[in-house]
Structure 1
Amino acid sequence: MKAIVIGAGEVGYHIAKFLSLTHDVIVVEKDVETARRADELDVQVMEGNGANADILAGILHDTDILVAVTGIDEVNIVACMTAKLIVRSHTGWKETKTIARVSNPDYINVPVTSRAQVGVDIMICPELALASEVADVLSSPSAIDAEVFAGGKVQMMEFAIRSENKIVGKQMQDLKLDDCCIVSAIFRKDEIIIPHGNDVVKAKDHMVVVGKPKAMESLVRLFGDEKPHRTRILLIGCGIVGIYLAKIIDKDEKADLKIIESRKSRCIEVADMLENALILNGDGTDVNLLREENIEDMDVVIAVTDNDEKNLLCSLLAKQMGAKKVIARADRSDYVPLFEMVGIDMAVSPREATVNEVLKLTMGRGIQTLATLEGEKAEIIEYTTSEKSKIIGKPLNKVKFPKDAIVTMVVHNEEVVIPKGDFVIQEGDRVIVFALSSAVSAVEKLFK
């Protein structure tokens, strides 16, 4: 299979890295230094403008997927449109799927959409996807990640276990989880554990729980010891990501939102967009300002400026001054584990949304939803089985399932089930699988 990636920045580099495992990849990048970095990968690199019709015409033949992820929306859209026109002008050429990264709200107002009528099969807004991801975890101070599967019937949440939590020291079998919830994994330092009944919960563990949304609500008390109150949120930075997130929070009747933005003109602009938020013109690293705004009383502080280093500094100050949970944006992929290593509760990156959507399109038609965890060390994937899937028609304990993967949930005839060894998966079932990245390819073979 063949793929073309236009743009070799942070997003393009990681997409090319993933696709090179299963595809022959051509990367097109006009910046010499950026192109040189892409040469580290097992891909062919071309220097040039990825929207240039002559360049595309020379490489498009027999291409399965084209991903345009430069930093310029218009270049990405034009590249996809041009690719479609070139392919259609050549009789017998394989149809090429096109994906464009787009950030301008004039072009897109949802995280992922289709614009097939203009030549873009999938349009992805990483910033809006990041904002939606952060909004999903704001309701619980101990939750650091969240995702929904099977059309909202199944929810995944990742919890950080604090040292004072009452479940520390208990065995997994002693946790009083609802019947429709299951702990899929425990992340402990550099170790990833698929837990058994005698595994003991330790402070600073990250626990991944999958279950029905209603049942997940009860876990908030188990993992966070929370008392219901209005969530106090401080948002630092109101650029593209910040305003997307502010609009989501502003509509939440259970949240009180304060925003710190350094540009006075932007503050005035944002004030006209939001009804309930308090907008402050200032610097998120100003200790006196943070004290005046009682940062120690904040349930969540979110630093989403366009500068990774400033986000880190704002987050560390907020954590040191008593904020309960701190979330920071990190555009550079190598910063995500660093942020969490120094005490940031959750580091989020816009590129992950783009990578996930590309993987869904390329890894197989049976994949409906995919979420990467712990810096892409593990994945939770939703598959829809077909009549050709090797996993159907026999008990799970008779299936040669990879040891580093587990079937956590099955949606059968609209009913959510935690499958046991004798459970038989059938055609059309939605199957939620937790897998280490090393086991994903083996899992895929069972669903193809």
Structure 2
Amino acid sequence: MKIIISGAYAIGTYLAKLLSRDKQDIVLMDENPENLAKISNDYDLLTMESSPTSIKGLKTAGIEDADLFIAVTPNESANLSACAMAHQLGAKKTVARVDNPEYVDPSNQELFKKMGVSSIIYPEMLAAKDIINGLKMSWVRQRWDVHDGALVMLGIKLRETCEVLNRPLKEISGPDDPYHVVAIKRNDETIIPGGNDTLQLYDLAFFMTTKQYIPYVRKVVGKEHYVDVQNVMIMGGGKTATRAVKMMPEYMNAKIIEQNPARCEVLNDIFDEDTLVINGDGRDIGLLQEEGIRNTQAFVSLTSNAETNILACLTAKRMGVRKTVAAVENLDYVSTAESLDIGTIINKKAVAASHIYQMMLDANVENVKFLMSVNADVAEFVPSPDSKITKKTVRELNLPKGVTIGGLVRNGEGMLVSGNTQIEAGDSVVAFCYNVDMKKVEKLFM
């Protein structure tokens, strides 16, 4: 595929590096030559100094042959204009990054499509959704819902209280059991498990189940003693924090700790009296104690500094907070944060990449989520009539190595998949894909 990315900032640079490794034809555009100079020669991509709204620049980049144009500069208006122009000049699909929550409302998507913008991304809102999903279930590291929770994937850190450690999966997760283990992260290794594999202490295990069996999964992994989150303390009052607080269910209470006095005034104008805004440093132990950290079930650190967020979460954990969430935008620190058992890690670049990756696929793909902790994708495919995957049972499909099918939704009902399952056209099928070309998986559904 030919992909043109405008904006060599955090998301654009990350995407360019990620997609170039997939052997895509990538052009990265930016007005600032210093931004482009930061791209290593180790990556197979072209860089080009140009404004995103320069017709000459777009044509020089080869926009008439582009399969996908991605505008992720900090300027929302420029991104939307560039996508509209790219569409008129021949780009098949376009994606624009925005900062206005009104623009991502489903009711407005048709308007943007008429403008030539195929898809809108608001990374801060996507990250906020992940944060709230994690807070709703204090015992879960990651949660991913298919069709409003008809099928659910749960990433869970296994502790000593887990009932199913050190037993072959064929004994604890057979065709008649209400969950499947679709992946395991063990130290630095990602495992797509077979029947003889076991769950071990401190594994991060990914369970696929249906909504009604979530309490059962909670029991077998030994997490029933985890209290539900009601009081949340957030360090850093940026856009992601603002969106997260606005998305919180009514039973949660939030306190925001922000160092910048001017930003505190802005936050006070945004929120009502139910959200307390505190001017201070969230690493200040005295301040945390004064503000009731001992009675807080979740601590979320969302400053722009990864080291600060990791340190703050470690401090909160030592003060008794079970659920911590850290924004870690520097990918070099992700493995460090995981090894320190920080909890849920949020990375806006990875969140945005998941959304954009979906645009690259030709099959009917409802949703794609990149799981940074296991360096894998979970995708929700809808098979076409006469597609390969509908011709045989799952056992007979000879799926590519690194691919497992965790479940499907048929007529609104979630179902786990076994070797004897016959997938039908129109099903929503959840495929877990590790270290595999998604195009190969996609062909099964077309």
TM-score between the two structures when normalised by the length of structure 1: 0.90
Q: Deviations over 1:78-126 (max 9, x none)?
A: 21122233x2xxxxxx452110111244644689956223332211000
| Structure 2 counterpart of 1:119, from 108, 116, 119 | 116
**Secondary structure class of the residue paired with 1:187:** strand
Comparing 235-244 with 254-263, greater Cα deviation is found at 254-263
What pairs with 1:142-221 in structure 2 (closer than 5 Å)? 142-173=139-170, 175=172, 179-221=177-219
| Structure 1 counterpart of 2:408, from 410, 426, 436 | 410
CA distance in 2, matches of 1:73, 1:27: 18
Deviation at 1:403, TM superposition (A): 3.1
CA distance in 1, matches of 2:231, 2:218: 17
Quote the residue 1:326 is aligned against.
Answer: 324
| Structure 2 counterpart of 1:75, from 78, 83, 87 | 78
Is the contact made by 2:138 and 2:227 (CA closer than 8 Å) also made in structure 1? no
Is the contact made by 1:238 and 1:259 (CA closer than 8 Å) also made in structure 2? yes
Q: Deviations over 1:204-261 (max 9, x none)?
A: 1101011212322443344322365552211111110111111122xx2332322212
Is the contact made by 1:171 and 1:200 (CA closer than 8 Å) also made in structure 2? yes
**Secondary structure class of the residue paired with 2:132:** helix
What pairs with 1:355-374 in structure 2 (closer than 5 Å)? 355-374=353-372
CA distance in 1, matches of 2:227, 2:239: 31
What pairs with 1:424-435 in structure 2 (closer than 5 Å)? 424-435=422-433
Unmatched tracts of structure 1, length 5 or more: 88-93
Deviation at 1:391, TM superposition (A): 1.4
Quote the residue 2:98 is aligned against.
Answer: 102
**Secondary structure class of the residue paired with 1:305:** coil
CA distance in 2, matches of 1:257, 1:217: 26
Query: Which amino acid is the alignment partner of residue 54 of structure 1?
Result: K
Comparing 309-318 with 171-180, greater Cα deviation is found at 171-180
Is the contact made by 2:257 and 2:279 (CA closer than 8 Å) also made in structure 1? yes
Quote the residue 1:248 is aligned against.
Answer: 247
Is the contact made by 2:229 and 2:297 (CA closer than 8 Å) also made in structure 1? no
Is the contact made by 2:137 and 2:229 (CA closer than 8 Å) also made in structure 1? no
Is the contact made by 2:4 and 2:69 (CA closer than 8 Å) also made in structure 1? yes
Instruction: Give the RMSD, CA atoms, in angstroms.
Output: 2.6
Is the contact made by 1:327 and 1:345 (CA closer than 8 Å) also made in structure 2? yes
Is the contact made by 1:111 and 1:125 (CA closer than 8 Å) also made in structure 2? no
Is the contact made by 1:180 and 1:211 (CA closer than 8 Å) also made in structure 2? yes
Change (3 A) 1:361 1:379: same
Deviation at 1:151, TM superposition (A): 4.8
CA distance in 1, matches of 2:173, 2:360: 39
CA distance in 2, matches of 1:74, 1:257: 32
Query: Which amino acid is the alignment partner of residue 41 of structure 1?
Result: Y
Deviation at 1:333, TM superposition (A): 2.6
Is the contact made by 1:405 and 1:439 (CA closer than 8 Å) also made in structure 2? no
Quote the residue 2:16 is aligned against.
Answer: 16
Is the contact made by 1:384 and 1:431 (CA closer than 8 Å) also made in structure 2? yes
Deviation at 1:274, TM superposition (A): 3.2
CA distance in 2, matches of 1:125, 1:305: 18
CA distance in 2, matches of 1:108, 1:439: 29
What pairs with 1:373-384 in structure 2 (closer than 5 Å)? 373-375=371-373, 377-384=375-382
**Secondary structure class of the residue paired with 2:233:** strand
Is the contact made by 1:328 and 1:344 (CA closer than 8 Å) also made in structure 2? yes
CA distance in 1, matches of 2:173, 2:422: 27
Change (3 A) 1:296 1:437: farther
TM-score between the two structures when normalised by the length of structure 2: 0.90
How many matched pairs? 439
Q: Where in structure 1 do 4 or more consecutive aligned residues deviate above 6 Å?
A: none
Is the contact made by 1:165 and 1:225 (CA closer than 8 Å) also made in structure 2? no
Query: Which amino acid is the alignment partner of residue 44 of structure 1?
Result: L
Is the contact made by 1:369 and 1:381 (CA closer than 8 Å) also made in structure 2? yes
CA distance in 2, matches of 1:69, 1:132: 20
Quote the residue 1:2 is aligned against.
Answer: 2
Unmatched tracts of structure 2, length 5 or more: none
Q: Deviations over 1:255-299 (max 9, x none)?
A: 232221223343343234234223222111111111222324422
Is the contact made by 2:229 and 2:298 (CA closer than 8 Å) also made in structure 1? no
Is the contact made by 2:186 and 2:202 (CA closer than 8 Å) also made in structure 1? yes
**Secondary structure class of the residue paired with 2:184:** strand
CA distance in 1, matches of 2:104, 2:273: 22
CA distance in 1, matches of 2:275, 2:49: 46
Q: Deviations over 1:299-322 (max 9, x none)?
A: 211001223232222122212322
CA distance in 1, matches of 2:415, 2:187: 31
CA distance in 1, matches of 2:102, 2:444: 41
Q: Does 1:269 align with 2:266?
A: yes
Is the contact made by 2:28 and 2:46 (CA closer than 8 Å) also made in structure 1? yes
Comparing 266-275 with 374-383, greater Cα deviation is found at 266-275
Change (3 A) 1:108 1:415: closer
CA distance in 1, matches of 2:275, 2:167: 41
Is the contact made by 2:405 and 2:431 (CA closer than 8 Å) also made in structure 1? yes
Q: Deviations over 1:397-431 (max 9, x none)?
A: 22121232111112233333222222222222221
